[in-house]
Amino acid sequence: MLETFQKGDTVQMKKPHACGSNAWRITRVGADVKIQCLNCGRIVMLDRQDFMRAGKRILAHEEESSSI
């Protein structure tokens, strides 16, 4: 179960997508979470609670750019 995640993170879901991949990139975070499949590009929007239940782990965090 995922607890802390942010836009741009790459996450692994418990069940694979129809294309065979289970790696997704988070593109929107709010009451709903929008994710995009890294294999086929399909975009899916899930309720935040459903996303937290269906997520397995965070594979990579997006690097935050620091402006000086």
Query: pLDDT tens for residues 42-55?
Result: 999 999 999 999 99
Which residues lie closer than 8 Å to 22 by C-beta, 6 or more apart? 12, 13, 14, 15, 16, 56
pTM above 0.85, yes or no: no
Residues in the chain: 68
Q: Give the pLDDT confidence score for residue 3 in this predicted structure.
A: 74
12 within 8 A of 57, measured Cβ to Cβ: yes
Q: How buried is residue 15: exposed, middle or buried, by Cβ count under 10 Å (0-12/13-18/19+)? A: exposed
3-state secondary structure of 53: helix
pLDDT digit string (tens) for the chain, length 68 residues: 677 899 999 999 999 999 999 999 999 999 999 999 999 999 999 999 999 999 999 998 877 544 44
